[in-house]
Structure 1
C-alpha cells in the first residue's frame, strides 16, 4: 500500500491510497481541476482513480466530489447513508450518477479485492461523520480528522496501525487569541469540533505501537496553528516522550498546496 496526502488544511482535504488493484481517494475537498493537478504532481492519472471514500459532508472534504463523479464514471464513491442523504437533499454536490453511489456505514467493514476498509463514527458537527481504516496485505492505515474528541471506540478502531493520518488542527493559545468569533472558537473547542495538537498527540499515545512507522499531521488550521507548532508538539510528546513508537518513526507534515512524499507500507 502506497499513500500520499495530496492536500490537507482548513480549506480542502484529499489523500491518495494505492494498492496493486486500486487507486483510492479519501475525501475530495478541492475543485476537480485542483485534485487532477495534485495527482499529476505524484504521477498519477486521474482516469486511473476507481474508488473514493467520503468522511462527511463539509465542503472542505466534499466540494469536488460531484464534479469527479460526473466527469469520471469509473469512480465508485462510498459514504454512509446520512452523508449521502444530506448532500443530495441539500444539493451540495449537484446531481450525481446513482450508479456510482455506494454505502458504508459506521462499524461496517468492506472487502474490495485487495483492500479492506472499516468505517467508524467520529464526533463532529456534520450530518453523519465517519472515518476509515484501510488495510492491504496486513498493513493498516488509520485516518482520523474532524472530531472533537477521541472516544474509546475510535481508539479501538485505529489502534496498532502502521501509519496514521491524524488531525492536529489548532494550538489552544493561538485559537483563543486569534481572529475567530467567540461562537466559532467555542464550536472548534467543543466535543463536536476539532482536535488540538495536544489532544491529537495524547490520543496517539494510547494507540500507536512498535509497528507504527509514519504519522501524517493533518487538517492544520491556517489561522490557529503553524506547521512548526504542530510538528514540535508531535515530536515532544510522541518521539521524545514515553510512547511505544519505534526509533525510526517519521512525523510527516502535510500542506494545503502540495502533496507529501509517497510512503510505502
Structure 2
C-alpha cells in the first residue's frame, strides 16, 4: 500500500511524504526537522524508512531544512544541477547539502530510486530551475506540480498519466488584483514564471485529466489572495461544467498550509 502525507503546503513551508512498506521519499523539506519528526511519530510513519529527498526548486519554503535533514539522516538529495547551485547560494539555508549527498537529475529523464520510478519534468517558475515529479510505484502514477507559472505540454502530459495529482491553485485572480500586494509582486505572480490561479488549475484539469485520475489535491494556496473553499469551489465549478463530478468521478481536496493531512492510502488504479 502506498501512503501519502502533506506536512505543509504554502509559503510557510512545503513538505510531502510518499512511502511503501519498505521505502520512502520526502518531496521538498521547507519545514523544520523537529516538526517533521513530530508529525511522523503522530501518524505512525517510520522516518528511517525514508531513503532519499527530492527537491522541486530552490526557494526557501521548499528547501529550508534540506541540508540538515540530509546530514542528520545520511540521505541523498536529488535535484537538477541548477537547483543544487541555487541551494548552495541561498542564504536562508544555514546547513548546505554536502557534496557526497548531492545527486543530479535531468528533466525528462527517468530514474529508478528503490521502489520508485521517478521522472522529473520542467515547470516554469522564477527559481534557478523548477521541476515537477511523475512517480510510478506499485502500478500507481503519483504526480506533484507546484509553483507553476503556466501550463506547458510537459505538465499536460503528466496530468494525463496521473492517478493521483498534487497541483497548484495559488490565487484567485480578483483577490490578487484588489489585494494588498504591491504591483510588482502582483505582476510577478501573474507572469508566466509566477503562480497558477484557481481557474487556470481547473482548466488544466478538465483539458487533460483522464478517467484514471482518482484524487486531486490543490496545493500552495496563497494566504492573502485565496481561500481554501474558494479554490475548491472554483475548480469544482469548472469540473462540473465539463461533466466531472467531484465526490463521484474523483476526489477533490485542498491541502492545508501549515498542518498535515493525515495519511492517505493510495490504491492501484486497477484495484
TM-score (norm 2): 0.92
Cα deviation per residue 1:11-61 (whole Å; 9 max; x = unaligned)? 111111012331111100112222222222322133332111000000010
Stretch deviating more after TM superposition (30-39 or 163-172): 30-39
Stretch deviating more after TM superposition (37-46 or 241-250): 241-250
Q: Give me the whole-angstrom Cα distance separating, in 2, the residues matched to 1:246 and 1:90.
A: 42
1:177 aligned residue: 178
Q: Give me the whole-angstrom Cα distance separating, in 2, the residues matched to 1:154 and 1:221.
A: 21
Q: Give me the whole-angstrom Cα distance separating, in 2, the residues matched to 1:183 and 1:71.
A: 39
Q: Give me the whole-angstrom Cα distance separating, in 2, the residues matched to 1:8 and 1:89.
A: 23
CA contact (8 A) 2:55 2:78 kept: yes
Q: Give me the whole-angstrom Cα distance separating, in 2, the residues matched to 1:39 and 1:245.
A: 29
2:97 aligned residue: 96
Stretch deviating more after TM superposition (174-183 or 156-165): 156-165
CA contact (8 A) 2:236 2:246 kept: no
2:39 aligned residue: 38
1:86 aligned residue: 86
Query: What is the deviation of 1:158?
Result: 3.0
CA contact (8 A) 2:13 2:258 kept: no
Q: Secondary structure at the match of 1:27?
A: strand
Stretch deviating more after TM superposition (165-174 or 146-155): 146-155
Query: What is the deviation of 1:184?
Result: 0.4
Cα deviation per residue 1:149-182 (whole Å; 9 max; x = unaligned)? 1111221133131110010100011111111111
The RMSD of aligned alpha carbons is: 1.8
Structure 1 residue runs of 5 or longer lacking an equivalent are none
Stretch deviating more after TM superposition (238-247 or 41-50): 238-247
Cα deviation per residue 1:59-103 (whole Å; 9 max; x = unaligned)? 010111111112111x22100100001211445533332222111
Q: Give me the whole-angstrom Cα distance separating, in 2, the residues matched to 1:91 and 1:182.
A: 26
Q: Give me the whole-angstrom Cα distance separating, in 1, the residues matched to 2:262 and 2:241.
A: 24
Q: Give me the whole-angstrom Cα distance separating, in 2, the residues matched to 1:206 and 1:46.
A: 38
Q: Give me the whole-angstrom Cα distance separating, in 2, the residues matched to 1:103 and 1:253.
A: 31
Q: Give me the whole-angstrom Cα distance separating, in 1, the residues matched to 2:213 and 2:262.
A: 17
Q: Give me the whole-angstrom Cα distance separating, in 2, the residues matched to 1:170 and 1:193.
A: 11
CA contact (8 A) 1:210 1:245 kept: no
Work out whether 1:48 is the aligned partner of 2:49: yes
1:64 aligned residue: 65
1:229 aligned residue: 230
TM-score (norm 1): 0.94
CA contact (8 A) 2:206 2:242 kept: no
Query: What is the deviation of 1:243?
Result: 4.2
1:189 aligned residue: 190
Structure 2 residue runs of 5 or longer lacking an equivalent are none
Q: Secondary structure at the match of 1:205?
A: helix
Superposition pairs of residues 63-212 of structure 1, within 5 angstroms: 63-73=64-74, 75-90=75-90, 92-93=92-93, 94-212=95-213
- Count of residue correspondences: 264
Q: Give me the whole-angstrom Cα distance separating, in 1, the residues matched to 2:90 and 2:63.
A: 13
